[in-house]
Structure 1
């Protein structure tokens, strides 16, 4: 029976998918074939309802322990096993479950400017046709209502980026030497050095992996009547999709998604006025984060 030695625990939209793929190339690391099993997010079956598309996400949870352990059956002798679920850092109950089951686990968190992270999160769901609000500031204002309605964690554009609160709780459960914090820009801009740093942290040989696959970049989707109509169809399909086999659902939504994402331009960054309005969600937490970590996050606090 195998349980992971390594968890990539956060944050969503901070390069964890690419990092998972990069680490999987190391001969001493076995990263789960299901990149994001979400095992520690629940004590049993996940919910069945939530926001648009959440029912399909919940179907992806590997929540039975036997199924979770089976993810690591293919690990060669002597390899460290790992998985990457970027919601573990945000979910304080998940942190407790990890501590109870695998207290000696090594934890890796990739952290991104929280305003940029929130905007990227919103743009991901907007371009998928699931987000009904066409402005990130308005979508963030709706967050508390969505939490009360039971929408899944990926809709928590601001909550997912409050790393100070999350780490304050994590450091009460795990010694700091078991936790490696990385900046998103390090993963993106200096992959070789970043991978060597991770390998040294895990106690495996450095210099064997040097590249991290390119991330899937979100396409620009304008807020137009035609795109709004496509989004309504996609959200309706997501609602019906809970009753369909996954392959059928994906095949049915593919042509509508292609039309929605037909613009070849990439996602635009948040506008200065959007950044100015979103930064207050994070300023107090950034101060806490800097106190906990010693990081200089002046770039996260810039408006322009």
Structure 2
């Protein structure tokens, strides 16, 4: 069976789930039923250990070639096939695997303000009870230690937002005409125009899909003593769960996850003080990104007038956080 014709490769927490759903509505496109198979993230079986909840995520990788190809077996004749794994952009080895397997693939890249992306990423895992640090600034400061300890990419709040480095490498492997780069804000503010831009890039009919499904985001539990206790219990259950069958592991953690979301408030926006402390992590890379793309991203280094995007309140969405599947 052929491999996919196109891939949405990044970035996590940048609307890739909503985009995947929108593209699946186009009659000329067939999207994999598993939104995020992660096939190109490894040369064989994925790791079995990592940070909190990572073991369950690794179990869900579609890493066998025959299983990956089977995801596209139901595609109607004449349709283009695609999948969405937003970690491919960050993983330079994955970029090389894609180049070796499907050198003619068209690649879609969604870029979100890296500070907002990091905050959304942290909120996702905090809400799930997996993130032990209740402040995004302090959590970002732990990144090097977590990487050395083998925590999965979804914990790399800062690294995932270094788009300049990632695109610079990608353009050594693929010609620019095979790569479409656009901003997350475009999908939020101008969905019909942005979708048509993607459809033209893929060579299919425009004007067919004009809306992007609204994707919910996680709620934000208060950092109470009860939250800390439940979170600690969930992390222990997740750790034990890696030795159990997947179904048993989920049955062990799901009740705790539901409890965490009870009476939780909506996701809280970044404060300017937090943003000011996080911007320096990305200043150099934003300059590189502007050089690589020829576009202006200097607004990412200033205060934001608003936040949010494809929003809603997700009272039970923490399971997606545990599994590393970004929802916004």
In the superposition, the TM-score normalised over structure 1's length comes to 0.97
CA distance in 2, matches of 1:181, 1:261: 35
> 1:303 Cα shift?
3.7
Q: Mapping of 1:126-165 within 5 angstroms?
A: 126-165=126-165
CA distance in 2, matches of 1:249, 1:295: 46
Residues paired across the two proteins, number: 304
> How large is the RMSD of aligned CA atoms in angstroms?
1.1
Gaps of 5+ in 1: none
Please give the secondary structure, in 2, of the residue aligned with 1:290. helix
Select between 286-295 and 12-21 the one with higher mean Cα deviation: 286-295
Please give the secondary structure, in 2, of the residue aligned with 1:30. strand
Listed one character per residue, the Cα deviations across residues 238-283 of structure 1 (whole Å, up to 9, x for unaligned) are 1122233333333332332122112353111111111111111100
CA distance in 1, matches of 2:254, 2:213: 24
Select between 17-26 and 244-253 the one with higher mean Cα deviation: 244-253
CA distance in 2, matches of 1:23, 1:247: 30
Conserved 8 A contact 2:18-2:215? yes
Match of 2:90 in 1: 90
Per chain length, whose mean CA-contact separation is higher, i.e. which structure has more relative contact order (CA < 8 Å, sep 6+)? 2
Q: Mapping of 1:161-176 within 5 angstroms?
A: 161-176=161-176
Conserved 8 A contact 1:227-1:260? yes
Q: Mapping of 1:52-71 within 5 angstroms?
A: 52-71=52-71
CA distance in 1, matches of 2:58, 2:64: 13
Gaps of 5+ in 2: 305-328
Conserved 8 A contact 2:230-2:256? yes
> 1:299 Cα shift?
1.8
In the superposition, the TM-score normalised over structure 2's length comes to 0.90
Match of 1:193 in 2: 193
1:117 aligns with 2:125: no
CA distance in 2, matches of 1:4, 1:75: 10
Conserved 8 A contact 2:164-2:285? yes
CA distance in 1, matches of 2:303, 2:187: 24
Conserved 8 A contact 2:222-2:265? no
CA distance in 2, matches of 1:279, 1:303: 10
CA distance in 1, matches of 2:222, 2:112: 25
Select between 213-222 and 226-235 the one with higher mean Cα deviation: 213-222
Conserved 8 A contact 2:221-2:264? no
Match of 2:319 in 1: none
Listed one character per residue, the Cα deviations across residues 167-197 of structure 1 (whole Å, up to 9, x for unaligned) are 0000111010100011111112221111111
Select between 154-163 and 252-261 the one with higher mean Cα deviation: 252-261
Listed one character per residue, the Cα deviations across residues 25-63 of structure 1 (whole Å, up to 9, x for unaligned) are 111100000000001001111000000000000001111
